[in-house]
Amino acid sequence: DTDTPVSAFESSLVLVSNRQPYSHRYEDDEIVVDRPVGGLTAGLDPVMQQVDGTWIAWGDGDADAEVTDDNDCVRVPPEDPSYTLRRVWLSDEAVDEYYYGYSNQVLWPLCHDLVGKTNFEDRFWSRYQEVNEQFADAVVEQADEESVVWFQDYHLALAPSHAREALPETTLFQFWHIPWPTWDTFRVCPHREELLGGLLANDLIGFHTERYVENFLACVDACFEAATVDTDSGEVEYDGETTLVRAFPLGVDAERIGELAGEREETFWPEFKREYSIPDDSRVAVGVDRLDYTKGIPERLDALEELFETRPEWRERLTYVQKSTESRSDISEYQRLQSAVDERIERLNERFATESWRPVVRIEEHLTNPELYGLYAHSDLALVTPVRDGMNLVAKEYVAAQADDDTKDGVLVLSRMTGAHGELGDTAVTIEPYDAPELAGQIEEALTMPDHERKRRMDALRASVLENDLDTWLASLLGTVQGLRRMSTQDTDD
Ligand code: G6P
């Protein structure tokens, strides 16, 4: 897209994330490539293809080392090599302690304000430090002073300060994809100074919302007497460095989602309903989540149970379709969540199913993008009910998939506790995720909303999601970075 300043970065962009965009694994004796189907890696892969930069990430596939040169690099995508993927190799213990441990049992619950789920083991912290140094070493080998290094997310809070020592003139920035908590929550962490200090080695730190920016600045202010924090401009001066802290709400590729949603318009929905035995005259509510305790799935199922119990007229007239993806299953909190979800779905189906109808249809198999977006397009409601979520792109994808057609507009039911609520809250149906009886009533309200009201709301949501899409996010984030560049090719040419 020529509107985004992506091209200004050319090969100088070095992107660093925990997850890699292409993973190679053995299937029998063949090497197969898994590619991104959604989320961060899928969104950023086209950017890297455009600029031919380098992406540094954990090599998590058992055949990755097989397709690698002496510098741990491979050109991707395999069928049309257009940028370099460089891997960081981690032992099983390192994955256990850095990824399952510190990243997902300390930073993840802490930043989602669920302090009771944190597990501060010393070995997690030591390994997190070690792995962040490993990532920083790869960056230092790969980057020079004209590079622009883009760190992603909470797995890499310490890598910027290590990289900075060897790269004093290089532009470093980071996008934090999850919430940033208040100081009262963050101060619980014994490593608060190291984490904040690590991040402040960046020239720019991006968050999804103004609230997270405010929380972060308040944490810096409270933690470091020596820091100067300007809350109006978002500038922090600390340890001889200036860091700009700003909100850049992430969007989705709304136009593309709309196209894919309509790809099999004629046949998709009748086939889908037949395959999952959804009666023709039943309305459909959809929930799509990674199986995570932040997503409010048990709470949502409790509300549905309440609905079918107290308003029996909805039996056989509403089907809830749950598409969930297993996640981080080595962690006991995630295993508990999975059992809680399983139990509730079983109970709902045992209590209310009839011969021709099940209240909850669970989709276990992989859906392709056109199938997923087709499901969104035809569902009467989307239930997005997290107890806390940095942004939540399902809400935006659901809106983007709705065809601009009065008869088909759906209703977005959206938790106040998501980042997306800041942008979409005025026209979505706002809910409190912990209040099951209230939520049951709101689901009914959404189901009975008059046509003109549904249309009015979906028109407004659609306009917002189309305007603040993935390209807008990139343009605004990379445009800001371009303005902060310490050393650029243009400067050296002058
Ligand atoms: C969610 C978060 C992202 C994070 C990702 C990691 O999508 O919003 O910020 O990068 O999870 O998922 P993973 O499967 O790599 O643990």
pLDDT digits (tens, 9 = 90+) for 303-329: 999 999 999 999 999 999 999 999 999
CA 62/CA 190 separation, integer angstroms? 35
Q: How far is the CA of 328 from the centre of ligand 1 (A)?
A: 10
CA 71/CA 188 separation, integer angstroms? 40
Is the pLDDT higher at 246 or at 2? 246
Torsional sign, CA 356, 360, 366, 369:
positive
CA 154/CA 239 separation, integer angstroms? 22
**CA-proximal residue: ligand 1, atom 14 (nearest):** 327
DSSP codes of every residue in 235-296: EEEETTEEEEEEE------HHHHHHHHTTTTTTHHHHHHHHTT--TT-EEEEEEEES-GGG-
The C-alpha angle 447, 450, 453, rounded to 5 degrees, equals 105
pLDDT, position 264: 81
Cβ atoms within 10 A of the Cβ of 391, count? 24
**Residue 407 above 80 pLDDT?**
no
Length of the chain: 494
When pLDDT is averaged across residues 27-47 and rounded to a whole number, the result is 87
CA 412/CA 376 separation, integer angstroms? 11
pLDDT-based confidence at 5, cuts 50/70/90? Answer: low
Q: Is 39 in the pocket of ligand 1 (CB under 6 A)?
A: yes
* Contact criterion met (CB below 8 Å) for 300 and 385: yes
pLDDT, position 408: 75
Largest interatomic CA distance in the chain: 77
Using one digit for the tens of pLDDT, what is the confidence trace for 184-195?
Answer: 999 999 999 999
**Residue 492 above 80 pLDDT?**
no
Q: Which atom in ligand 1 lies closest to the alpha carbon of residue 99?
A: 16
Q: Is 326 in the pocket of ligand 1 (CB under 6 A)?
A: no
Element (H, E) at 445: helix 436-447
Q: Is 421 in the pocket of ligand 1 (CB under 6 A)?
A: no
pLDDT, position 399: 97
Q: How far is the CA of 66 from the centre of ligand 1 (A)?
A: 26
End-to-end CA distance of the chain: 28
When pLDDT is averaged across residues 174-199 and rounded to a whole number, the result is 98
Q: Which two tokens mark 239?
A: 């340890």
Q: Which atom in ligand 1 lies closest to the alpha carbon of residue 328?
A: 16
pLDDT, position 123: 98
Q: How far is the CA of 174 from the centre of ligand 1 (A)?
A: 15
**Residue 82 above 80 pLDDT?**
yes
Helix, strand, coil tally for the chain in percent (to 5)? 50, 20, 35
3-state secondary structure of 230: strand
Cβ atoms within 10 A of the Cβ of 376, count? 21
pTM above 0.90, yes or no: yes
Q: Distances from the Cα of 409 to the Cαs of 67, 321, 359, 453, in angstroms? A: 47, 18, 22, 10
When pLDDT is averaged across residues 269-290 and rounded to a whole number, the result is 95
- Angle separating helix axes 210-223 and 192-199, nearest 10 degrees: 120
Q: How far is the CA of 408 from the centre of ligand 1 (A)?
A: 32
Q: Is 390 in the pocket of ligand 1 (CB under 6 A)?
A: yes
3-state secondary structure of 234: coil
**CA-proximal residue: ligand 1, atom 3 (nearest):** 177
Using one digit for the tens of pLDDT, what is the confidence trace for 10-26?
Answer: 789 999 999 999 999 99
CA 333/CA 327 separation, integer angstroms? 11
Using one digit for the tens of pLDDT, what is the confidence trace for 111-152?
Answer: 999 999 999 999 999 999 999 999 999 999 999 999 999 999
Q: Which of 437, 444, 450, 439 has the alpha carbon at shortest distance from 409?
A: 450
**Range in 175-179, 240-244, 245-249, 484-488 the model is least confident about:** 484-488
CA 278/CA 294 separation, integer angstroms? 28
Residue 359 CB-half CA count within 13 A: 23
Q: Which atom in ligand 1 lies closest to the alpha carbon of residue 389?
A: 8
Q: Is 95 in the pocket of ligand 1 (CB under 6 A)?
A: no
Preceding amide of 168 cis, omega within 30: no
**Residue 3 above 70 pLDDT?**
no
**CA-proximal residue: ligand 1, atom 9 (nearest):** 177
For all residues of the chain together, what is the average pLDDT?
94
Cβ atoms within 10 A of the Cβ of 222, count? 17
**Residue the block writes with tokens 């249309």:** 455
**Residue 80 above 70 pLDDT?**
yes
* Contact criterion met (CB below 8 Å) for 389 and 418: yes
The residue type of 38 is: G
pLDDT-based confidence at 405, cuts 50/70/90? Answer: confident
**Residue 85 above 90 pLDDT?**
yes
pLDDT, position 45: 93
**Range in 36-50, 75-89, 189-203, 418-432 the model is least confident about:** 36-50
Q: Which of 52, 57, 71 has the alpha carbon at shortest distance from 12?
A: 52
pLDDT-based confidence at 494, cuts 50/70/90? Answer: very low
pLDDT, position 2: 41
Q: Which two tokens mark 194?
A: 């190291």
3-state secondary structure of 102: helix
Q: Which atom in ligand 1 lies closest to the alpha carbon of residue 391?
A: 8
**CA-proximal residue: ligand 1, atom 6 (nearest):** 19
Q: How far is the CA of 274 from the centre of ligand 1 (A)?
A: 33
Q: Is this complex's ipTM strictly greater than 0.85?
A: yes
Q: Is 485 in the pocket of ligand 1 (CB under 6 A)?
A: no
**Residue 282 above 60 pLDDT?**
yes
CA 160/CA 199 separation, integer angstroms? 6
pLDDT, position 9: 82
When pLDDT is averaged across residues 449-464 and rounded to a whole number, the result is 95
The residue type of 159 is: A
